[in-house]
Chain A
Amino acid sequence: MRPKSLALGCAVMATALVLSGCGSGTASGGKTKLTIGLFGNFGYAELLKEYQAAHPDIEISDRTASYSDHHKNLAAHLATSSGTADIEAVDTGYVNQFKATPDKFVDLNTKGGDQLKDRWLPWKWEGSLSKDGKQIGYGTDVGGLAICYRRDLLQNAGLPADRDQVAALWPTWQDFMAAGKKFQEKAPEGVKWFDGGPTVLNAIVGQASVGYYDKTDKIVVGDNKEIKDAWNLVVDGVNSGLSAKLLFSTPVWNTGFKQGQFATVTCPAWQMAKIKDQAGPEAAGKWDVTSVPGGGGNWGGSYLTVPKSGKNIDKAVELAAWLTAPEQQAKVFKSAGLLPSTPKLYEDPSIVDYKNPYFNDAPIGKLFTDAAKKLNPQYQGPKAGDIQTAIGNAMQRVEQGKQNGEDSWRQFVGDVQK
């Protein structure tokens, strides 16, 4: 409410920084200080220790913010060319916006990135490549896509709990909704089939051959029948009472895991760490993972960028390359469950045979690498993140009973074509 006092606080801090001459740069004792700005859980704590042990001249401090705070702060810092960390993580949902201004970042191709190109899935490499061929970030993980489900809830509603049988329930999203209607008949009060319409819709949209944009960066979602069909399907699910109406990644959604308010949730690899955190140890073994309707898919995944305003660009590039190397991605997969973006690991037995004990020993290594191999990458336009927000809002309007499916769709299409 009082931005003024905030501004004053910043001013005082800025003055203090100038007076004491600090900021990022060389720390006492001749060590190079690197900062790394992250969001959510990248699983880097151990890796950073390992890197510092191997490089005694480097001191790394990491700072982690929430998903949207991190990206908005990054935009503000880039705008003023100050306050950026030496390495900044960027999510798929924002990378298109940032790669539209590649000059704010170090072109990694000029720092040996073109030599490393073959590490990554081709579409992952292209995801952070600007129109004029500058590489702004090294790929960390990809999302992949699966469905996480509560074994006990499905069983109690008379559905199978075994993951192969569950997968057989839903070869397509239509089947998924049909299974949901069966589930809902016997579900206890307050337990729904899926967490929220926007989450499910996001997964289906991600599988479409064309998403919100065509390849010339024209917004085509208004005439995209595939997306409209997906919309209608989810609206029908919502109207049939299958949705717990909890918005993805909000405190009430977190509570939903704790309270067991929904039986299924679309599950990119990074989601599993969230579920484990939110549902807690008492839900161990209740959750399981199986394949997603409609084949493969991808939701999310990130990049490590090196802003040009940093003071230790070369050392930062070196660290970013190390963190995203296959060896390190394999470690992150095992510690935090993030799916590697380096296809070499998809054949590695230590990845493929990996089972997650929290999720009832689900063979997530095989499940996610299979999904990643099947993935048909969709072209993302410059403001895909904004459009995703708008369609999520539109679905929420239906869930909240503010509008019917048709009116809300029309408003959404009008909003994004402005």
Chain B
Amino acid sequence: MAVIDKTVRRHRWDTKFAPYGYVAPYFLIFGVFGLFPLLYTIWVSLQDRNLLESDAATFVWFDNYAALMADPYFWNAMGNTLSLWLLTTVPQILFALVIAQLLNRKVRTRTLFRMGVILPNITSVAAVTIIFAQLFGRDFGLFNWLLGLFGAGQIDWQAGTATSHIAIAVMVVWRWTGYHALIFLASMQAISPSLYEAATLDGANGRQQFWRITVPLLRPQIIFTTIIATTGNMRLLAEPLLFNPGAAAATGGSDRQFQTAALYLYEQGFTKYDFGYSSSIAVVLAIATVVVAGFGYLVTKRIRTE
């Protein structure tokens, strides 16, 4: 009896606690690489701390935040961040829907195309940005050459606010559209063909079917990609940093016309060594990202079947 009792007990213990053991690695890794840095950043943001002199740090509580709220360059960076968020996220999702729709058809060598759309995403962001910076060059750039064929003048892409935002958005959209397209494509293939057959019998054309059947049924994926894209695009760093190489790279243009919040954080932390201030930017940016992602969620949630 005793042996059976032991086995039963072990079995009970097993079903009760083993699941925690199975999920523990994730939480351990999240704790070390996710939660701890987050809490540590908040702690640093309450200090007056030089990057190189952590021993001399002093607690100033919310002074960094007060200074931040009154800092016009921070608000400039937040404005640029929101502008770039809009210019990257919306086209990304719309283009991805269109591409997924095209890839969902029976075309020859479609596996090749499906693989192809992910290529921009696995390319090194530094390499991509350097190539694009050349394409957007003022004197010998490909885009200016193309525009020149239509008689448009030479655009100094880095100089203007709008032009620099467009150039950076092109890089981001080019890089991430394929990734989102594959997510949409996978879900599109799960939509029952009978829905389309019924719609065809009812006389709905391709466009109507796309907007009334495909898009509403992709709602969960659209919400997901919007949130993923938002969290990525709210902290754009590499693209604006490498778009303007040279000693002044961290300022994001001569008048900070394309300095994102993440880049401002980088400037404060790694060129001015103001680690405390830089951390407070990180905290505010994280909060802003949650707010904007929430907004994106509310908008995409409104997609409905009629």
Contacts and interface: CB of A to CB of B under 8 A. Distances in A.
Interface of A: 1-3, 7-8, 11, 66-68, 72, 75-76, 78-79, 93, 97-98, 100-101, 104, 190, 245, 247-253, 255, 259, 261, 383, 386, 388-389, 392-394, 396-397, 400-403
9 contacts: A1-B236, A7-B33, A79-B275, A247-B246, A251-B134, A252-B137, A393-B255, A396-B254, A401-B159
Interface in B50-95: 50-54
Contact of B140 (A93, A255, A393, A394): A255
A41 to B, nearest CB: 17
B51 A259 contact: no
A75 B246 CA distance: 18
Interface residues of B, number: 45
A346 B53 CA distance: 39
Nearest to A398: B254
A81 B225 CA distance: 39
A78 B52 CA distance: 7
A386 B271 contact: yes
Contacts of B139: 190, 252, 255, 259, 261
A101 B233 CA distance: 36
Interface of B: 32-33, 37, 50-54, 125, 130, 133-134, 137-140, 156, 158-159, 172, 175-176, 232-233, 235-239, 244-251, 254-255, 262, 270-273, 275
B138 A252 contact: yes
Nearest to B176: A1
B248 A400 contact: no
Contacts, number: 103
B257 to A, nearest CB: 8
Q: What 10 A-B pairs come out closest when comparing CB atoms?
A: A396-B254, A400-B159, A101-B52, A250-B246, A397-B254, A393-B254, A79-B51, A389-B248, A72-B270, A250-B245
A397 B248 CA distance: 13
B53 A101 contact: yes
Given A3-B235, A393-B251, A249 B272 contact: no
Contacts of A388: 247
Contacts of A190: 139
Contacts of B125: 1-2
Contacts of A253: 246
A400 B133 contact: no
A11 B31 CA distance: 13
Contact of B130 (A2, A97, A251): A251
B52 A1 contact: no
Contacts of B158: 400
